[in-house]
Structure 1
């Protein structure tokens, strides 16, 4: 059992560190996911929406600190209790999410109206690793196998603070696990580097001051500092389909070898006065007097383009391909002009003027209406037009309002938060 508890501490602690770090990297994205859950037609907790970013920061940072506490054996009763509470809540949440999708699918097959909205993924690992709600639920059940014993053993005083020798063992073993998941699976070396720095700081404070709370406070400050940096700039690692080096057109299409969806068609038809059914892959009955109805069941999901809903539209036409073919394009993104940072909007003027002088086409993208577009152009003396794009898509394109992308024939060459507009090179 002692070996099992050691393994449990390593698995839970390492996974919490990587999961929390991925979300700290993109706290704004995680806050959007919380807003999806807070919506009226999901959990009906709309009063929490104004605090979603604060909640996102707290959850992400605490998740890492709890992972550190488990690794070093610090405040084991409190840390194991908080971890168990988090795991029970997220297990319920992923069960709720997966059950909603099952009910939605069943209602669709029966032709019934389904008024509830379902969240399609829990955001456990942000955009780094997309898990279906059912997969997330099974993942949480798996983790409960380790977190429940940790809780009981901690409250029986069988999980003590590490000795210095034990610290070395746990730090090395945890680093190996973080390398396996954070580097080999997620593909982000920073997870290992950050963890090693975090371990070193906690190790030094813990073994030189004997201050458990001071060690955890240091971990908290480091994680909060990293989170703040990503909020004030852009995520250190961009896992989305609009990152530097990606091409919009390529990500909007599927390759020739893409997996196609496999769908069963259940045909109900009448032949010679008798109602019959057959199941095939879409051809339908060879002979029939009347088709009564047809149902479809997706056997295997097909591949989907990385970018599905991105458009650049005027009031009259779709200009997406026209702009994405340009050699020099500056794309200013503001999902909501009403919520755009005034300092950021002021900074756009000089940047846009410089870009136009150097032969760049400058456009804005927003989900705001024509009245607001006109008002913003007049207030900030902006000499470029705003075009329409879906708000959710724009929130995905760049985690800044406003944010700026430089494209060459659809390929992103530069991408900055409005705080870093001066870093752009034309």
Structure 2
């Protein structure tokens, strides 16, 4: 009974982490320009020198890595390595989001792009939950059922990363496949700029 409960918790943690990371990576890849701008905001806040090209390279790599981690964890690919990757990712991002929540140097972290804008405190609470799930998934990674044989693991991981980079580049070179921004093509900009009568 205990082993069954542990497996259920590990599998639920795997699903939560996988779906969240895939969703986060996908919506960032849909609007990589927005991620590049947000990356520049972070560099400015922390006083790090940066250039547009380096922001773009780092953004593409981060988005593809995040997407790959989500795919690997969800499918049970390289279970120990992928859960460790997510655990380290959360170990870095959780303190960063606590700093953002306390001092509010940027209005939102951009973790879900423009698809889902949440406050810095909401982001921090979300990261606490994901960190707990990451710890469970890492400790009990052997309880996670893989969807592929070991020989296919590296192929799946490389394909996920390559797809993330290619999808980023396509959306960077064209208009976003799905535009989550308020002033998207076809929007009535004068109408959107009107102040509602009941606005404070």
Q: 1:34 aligns with which of 32, 36, 39?
A: 39
Residues 50, 244 of structure 1: alpha-carbon distance in 2 compared, 3 angstrom cutoff: closer
Q: 1:43 aligns with which of 18, 32, 46?
A: 46
Aligned to 1:235: 176
Please give the secondary structure, in 1, of the residue aligned with 2:67: helix
Aligned to 1:133: 120
Q: 2:90 aligns with which of 78, 87, 90?
A: 87
Residues 161, 212 of structure 1: alpha-carbon distance in 2 compared, 3 angstrom cutoff: farther
Q: 1:223 aligns with which of 164, 173, 176?
A: 164
Q: Distance in 2 between matches of 1:87 and 1:229?
A: 28
Q: Which has the higher contact order (CA 8 A, sep 6+)?
A: 2
Contact 1:38 1:48 in 2 (8 A): no
Aligned to 2:67: 64
Q: Distance in 2 between matches of 1:160 and 1:97?
A: 33
Aligned to 1:143: 130
Q: Distance in 2 between matches of 1:2 and 1:48?
A: 46
Q: Distance in 2 between matches of 1:252 and 1:244?
A: 15
Which structure has more helix as a fraction of its residues?
2
Please give the secondary structure, in 1, of the residue aligned with 2:140: helix
> Within 5 Å, which residues of 2 pair with 1:301-380?
none
> Within 5 Å, which residues of 2 pair with 1:22-421?
22-39=27-44, 42-47=45-50, 50-101=53-104, 118-154=105-141, 158-159=142-143, 162=146, 167=147, 206=148, 210-258=151-199, 260=200
Q: Distance in 2 between matches of 1:218 and 1:51?
A: 24
Contact 2:7 2:144 in 1 (8 A): no
Unaligned runs of 5+ in 1: 102-117, 168-205, 261-426
Q: Which structure would you say has the larger Rg?
A: 1
- Give the number of equivalent residue pairs: 195
Contact 1:38 1:49 in 2 (8 A): no
- 1:160 CA drift (Å): 5.2
- 1:235 CA drift (Å): 1.2
Q: Distance in 1 between matches of 2:127 and 2:18?
A: 14
Contact 1:74 1:161 in 2 (8 A): no
Q: Distance in 2 between matches of 1:240 and 1:34?
A: 18
- 1:48 CA drift (Å): 6.4
Q: Distance in 1 between matches of 2:167 and 2:102?
A: 35
Pairing 1:14–2:19 present? yes
- 1:31 CA drift (Å): 1.0
TM-score when normalising by structure 1:
0.44
- 1:49 CA drift (Å): 5.6
- 1:159 CA drift (Å): 3.6
Q: Distance in 2 between matches of 1:38 and 1:6?
A: 36
TM-score when normalising by structure 2:
0.90
Q: Distance in 1 between matches of 2:35 and 2:110?
A: 7
